[in-house]
Structure 1
């Protein structure tokens, strides 16, 4: 019956970017999600915010649509935050020196909605700032699994906002439910999450945050539908794990201007990066 009701409406892909908090959730215990990152994205005079999560002291995962902007973009990553509007002693603010958006990312239909950011300096790992493991290529969540999502996103369509980190528990749904809502849903690279009965969801400002199942990040908050908050689409991390590992290896290479001027370095393979926001 739910599917029939959903199919009577015209659904429009609506990537979630902006500021705000989670719908139907609760305040997270302070610093209970030490992997969470708050991304402040400046594009000219416009400033938006997204979530993200630390997977290595110098690397943060988020959603590609958060970074999909024209012109000069500057990104400041805040780690160790609970109340994002206060200058907490636990916070570390680090600029993103560069980032790489998946080459097959599609702005139109939200496919391959993933970006990896390289921090200009490594985060200091402590009780308030820690990395989270990501799902391996062969690891998949199952229908009915209960996972958690955290973020500083909206709590309602009206745009009610919270300064503190919120969290919500969401169930993994059958792929067929999201396939009925959109022909663009791809089971291999996306996860269908959340249901109307629970009236819980992520929303604007939560984009880029992690779907955490069994203490691992399995998904990334990606997009939903304009006329329907439930279910919603998450980027499936396990599908992109080989790509993520490849980019992390490239991040570890020293750029040419940091290499010692000696013959051993002259023939080393270099990777050119687009240095944005520096």
Structure 2
């Protein structure tokens, strides 16, 4: 059984490498105002979002689920924390073209084994910063059901109150069981508001307060940096949505963030890693 190669790289080299992938794959860089989603709606047709990928990651703890996005035919962008317990000797997969990865293979679906995982060297499980990874697979065939998403080279339009769309395979509001791909909606909130909300939701010692509704052990003694931003609104992310794309529509649809740190179910903003 082949062993999946795992690499750690600096953020500069990771972003530089991603940029080279985009050029090699003729992915358009857009310049300009550049766990099922909780409280979202089922996506009726995967062809609306053919870039969304479902990651089945094997570890000593079993199989975990993350969401990702195809940024080239060979590469999937997701969160680094998805690989905290990753077993490189096991066969982990990326599924694309699926509304419900737990059901039978639908028309247009494709599955690839993970070959390599690139994780930013600054990532640690103790905090939310630099939560970025790239998975390499054998190339997906590009179709109406499976395709890649544009990434913006300009984040100047990521401003408070801008509407964005959230996509993920995580848990729904009403159940603990993962089901089909969901889409939700939120708005960007300014960093100061996000910092204040998280500060109020944390007790000394880096544990959640009552805002977390009984959930303990969630690290929250962090500062939101310029590499992160937050959203709040009717929809949020939860288990299984990690690594999923945050989408902004400006002239055409672009990905502006990666789902990193949940907080919606505790009344706090969701934190995203900023692309661009």
Q: TM-score, normalised by structure 1?
A: 0.72
Aligned equivalent of 2:42: 27
| In structure 2, C-alpha distance between the alignment counterparts of 1:235 and 1:219, rounded to whole Å | 5
| In structure 2, C-alpha distance between the alignment counterparts of 1:69 and 1:127, rounded to whole Å | 34
| Runs of 4+, deviation exceeding 6 Å | none
For 1:167-198, what per-residue CA distance to the aligned partner results, in whole angstroms no more than 9, with x for missing partners? 00110001112212155233311011114xx3
| 1:84-163 pair list within 5 angstroms | 84-86=101-103, 87-119=105-137, 121-136=138-153, 139-156=156-173, 159-163=175-179
In the alignment, is the contact (CA less than 8 A) between 1:201 and 1:229 conserved in 2?
no
Change (3 A) 1:216 1:192: same
Unpaired runs of 5+ residues, structure 2, are: 1-34, 200-220
| In structure 1, C-alpha distance between the alignment counterparts of 2:73 and 2:263, rounded to whole Å | 34
Aligned equivalent of 1:78: 95
Aligned equivalent of 1:213: 248
Matched, 1:55 2:71: yes
Aligned equivalent of 1:231: 269
For 1:58-102, what per-residue CA distance to the aligned partner results, in whole angstroms no more than 9, with x for missing partners? 000000000122543542000111121221131100011001101
| In structure 2, C-alpha distance between the alignment counterparts of 1:226 and 1:122, rounded to whole Å | 35
Q: CA deviation at 1:29?
A: 2.1
| In structure 2, C-alpha distance between the alignment counterparts of 1:226 and 1:193, rounded to whole Å | 9
Secondary structure in 2 matching 1:172: strand
For 1:5-30, what per-residue CA distance to the aligned partner results, in whole angstroms no more than 9, with x for missing partners? xxxxxxxxxxxxxxx52111111121
| In structure 2, C-alpha distance between the alignment counterparts of 1:133 and 1:216, rounded to whole Å | 5
Q: CA deviation at 1:44?
A: 3.4
Which residue, 191, 195, 201 being the options, matches 2:236? Answer: 201
| In structure 2, C-alpha distance between the alignment counterparts of 1:229 and 1:38, rounded to whole Å | 27
